[in-house]
């Protein structure tokens, strides 16, 4: 009989499920991969076999133009891997298709969260707490300074900036997968019925969300619109386009950015953001600590961000924990 949990091994380039010779979110191509969600630091192309939710596979197909070797697994469905390992996909509440992966082997249960948040998001099902022995959590915003405000407040700021400046437009930098669609859906939830204008780089992902059942209301491309028609409008673009030549075609844009990093004033200044919107698809400090309390695992493994403060919090609260040294995982918003 081997040592407890010897079958799950954190390596620098991913978490190795040894008896199944399968990797979770590996940073380089492998024969067999379990993928938590479609962000580029988790979902890479080139694996022999990719096991993920149908929405994550559709996102990967859009990005990598191939779905060879795809094995779809629905939320709540369990797939038996070689070596007697069962894998179950559980909603993570991060972006469309995002999942935690519950692994069961020899009576031991390990949950790998991938990225997650606890706030409601109209574009994906909510995070579910799953009892386990080892809980492997992300820590992108694992510092007490990170406390995200309610999204309603940030959306209200955006709508007020628009209403106060009828001759200008509000240009919101938002990551193409997840953030852009969530901002649009929250605007619709707040009663905003006008067309929302898109930079071309956001179009395909928004269309895919719609195909997968997320209603985003009327979307129009900026390309081809006369400048004046965009006055008083809301325009979304990828963060990289906020200050480039492309934005010159817009009527005196108010530059906004939707990101958890907007909590850091210096970052907002660096990016010349006039209207920082603290909107994150990651758990903030309170969500991280509350989740560890609710899941109440035997041990917490911390990865993917600012591990130290969360490690210390676990120790102070008499919880077993360790920090993992995985490489290559950075929030795409960054």
In order of 9, 13, 96, 115, 246, the CA distances from 325 in angstroms are 12, 9, 27, 16, 39
SS3 category, 41: coil
Nearer to Zn ion, 21 or 332 (CB): 332
Nearer to Zn ion, 59 or 171 (CB): 59
Nearer to Zn ion, 50 or 255 (CB): 50
Nearer to Zn ion, 203 or 332 (CB): 332
Task: Give the per-residue contact string, 33-52, with Zn ion (x = CB under 5 A; - = no).
Answer: ------x-x-----------
In order of 3, 11, 102, the CA distances from 136 in angstroms are 19, 13, 10
Task: With CB under 5 A as the rule, give the number of residues binding Zn ion.
Answer: 3
The distance of Cα 45 from the centroid of its chain, to the nearest Å, equals 18
Q: How far is the CB of 292 from Zn ion (least distance, A)?
A: 18
Pick the stretch among 17-25, 67-75, 114-122, 182-190 that binds Zn ion (CB under 5 A). Answer: 114-122
Q: How far is the CB of 191 from Zn ion (least distance, A)?
A: 29
Chain position carrying tokens 């919090």? 313
Question: In the set 25, 104, 115, 154, which binds Zn ion (CB under 5 A)?
Answer: 115
Q: Which residues contact 163 (CB under 8 A, 6 or more apart)?
A: none
The token pair that represents 166 in the structure block: 């009828």
C-alpha span between 27 and 272 (Å, rounded): 32
- Cβ contact 250:173 at 8 Å: no
Nearer to Zn ion, 246 or 329 (CB): 329
Q: How far is the CB of 42 from Zn ion (least distance, A)?
A: 6
* Pairing, β 254-258 against β 275-277: parallel
Nearer to Zn ion, 39 or 105 (CB): 39
Nearer to Zn ion, 41 or 286 (CB): 41
C-alpha span between 308 and 323 (Å, rounded): 7
Q: Is 121 in the site for Zn ion (CB under 5 A)?
A: no
Nearer to Zn ion, 185 or 283 (CB): 283
C-alpha span between 133 and 111 (Å, rounded): 8
Pick the stretch among 61-69, 108-116, 239-247, 265-273 that binds Zn ion (CB under 5 A). Answer: 108-116
The token pair that represents 128 in the structure block: 């579910």
Q: How far is the CB of 25 from Zn ion (least distance, A)?
A: 8
Q: Check residue 75 and report its DSSP letter.
A: B
Nearer to Zn ion, 247 or 291 (CB): 291
Task: Give the per-residue contact string, 193-212, with Zn ion (x = CB under 5 A; - = no).
Answer: --------------------
Whole-number CA gyration radius for the chain: 20
Burial of 243 per CB tally in 10 Å (0-12, 13-18, 19+): middle
Q: How far is the CB of 136 from Zn ion (least distance, A)?
A: 13
Task: Give the per-residue contact string, 56-95, with Zn ion (x = CB under 5 A; - = no).
Answer: ----------------------------------------
In order of 36, 249, 264, the CA distances from 228 in angstroms are 43, 10, 34
- Cβ contact 301:136 at 8 Å: yes
Give contact residues for Zn ion (rule: CB under 5 A).
Answer: 39, 41, 115
């Amino acid at each position: 009989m081997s040592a407890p949990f010897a079958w799950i091994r954190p390596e620098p380039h991913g978490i190795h499920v040894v008896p199944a010779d399968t990797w979770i979110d590996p940073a380089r191509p492998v024969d067999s991969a379990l993928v938590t969600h479609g962000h580029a630091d988790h979902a890479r192309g080139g694996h022999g076999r990719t096991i993920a939710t149908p929405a994550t596979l559709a996102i990967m197909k859009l990005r990598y133009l191939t779905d060879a070797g795809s094995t779809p697994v629905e939320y709540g469905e369990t797939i038996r891997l070689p070596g007697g390992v069962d894998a179950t996909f559980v909603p993570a509440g991060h972006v469309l298709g995002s999942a935690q992966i519950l692994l069961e082997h020899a009576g031991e249960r390990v949950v790998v969260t991938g990225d997650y948040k606890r706030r409601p998001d109209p574009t994906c099902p909510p995070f579910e707490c799953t009892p386990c022995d080892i809980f492997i959590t992300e820590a992108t915003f694992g510092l007490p300074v990170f406390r995200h405000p309610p999204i309603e407040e940030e959306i209200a700021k955006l709508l007020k900036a628009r209403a106060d400046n009828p001759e200008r437009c509000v240009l919101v930098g938002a990551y193409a997968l997840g953030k852009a669609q969530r901002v649009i859906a929250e605007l619709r939830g707040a009663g905003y019925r006008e067309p929302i204008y898109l930079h071309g780089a956001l179009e395909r992902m928004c269309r895919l969300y719609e195909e997968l059942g997320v209603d985003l209301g009327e979307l129009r491309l900026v390309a081809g619109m006369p400048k004046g028609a965009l006055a008083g409008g809301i325009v979304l673009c990828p963060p990289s386009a906020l200050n480039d030549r492309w934005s010159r075609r817009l009527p005196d844009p108010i530059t906004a950015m939707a990101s958890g990093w907007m909590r850091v004033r210096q970052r907002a200044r660096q990016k010349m953001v006039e209207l920082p919107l603290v909107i994150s698809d990651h758990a903030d400090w309170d969500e991280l600590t509350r989740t560890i309390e609710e899941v109440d695992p035997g041990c917490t493994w911390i990865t993917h961000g600012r591990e130290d403060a969360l490690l210390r919090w676990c120790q102070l609260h008499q919880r077993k924990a360790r920090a993992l040294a995985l490489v290559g995982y950075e929030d795409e918003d960054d």
